[in-house]
Amino acid sequence: MKKVFVLMMAISLFLIMPFMSMAQVGTNPPPPPGNGGTGGTHGDGNNHGGGAPIDGGIAMLLVLGASVAGRKVYQYKKGKEK
């Protein structure tokens, strides 16, 4: 059963990944900051950071870490009872 599950996950991964990478092909890159001249405006203090949210990723990392830790504790206690 586990081999079938791993095989199905691997097949679906290889079938889905090319389509996910092609989703970005038709989009244009964002414009450069400032006037785009030779001097640029990166150091003038008007840059307020990017717009990449990290809260969802941190929550996912914490949930996965807690589940791995819980599984390890469960396996430890299960092995200790025998």
Q: What 8-state DSSP symbol labels residue 26? A: T
pTM, two decimal places: 0.36
Q: What is the pLDDT of residue 21?
A: 67
**Once rounded to an integer, what is the mean pLDDT over residues 33-48?**
55
* pLDDT > 60? residue 11: yes
Predicted local distance difference test score (pLDDT) of residue 14: 83
Residue 58 has pLDDT above 70, yes or no: yes
Cα distances from 30 to residues 27, 33, 81, in angstroms, run 9, 9, 59
> Do residues 80 and 72 touch, judged by C-beta distance below 8 A?
no
Coil, strand or helix at 24:
coil
What is the chain's mean pLDDT, rounded? 76
Residue 26 has pLDDT above 80, yes or no: no
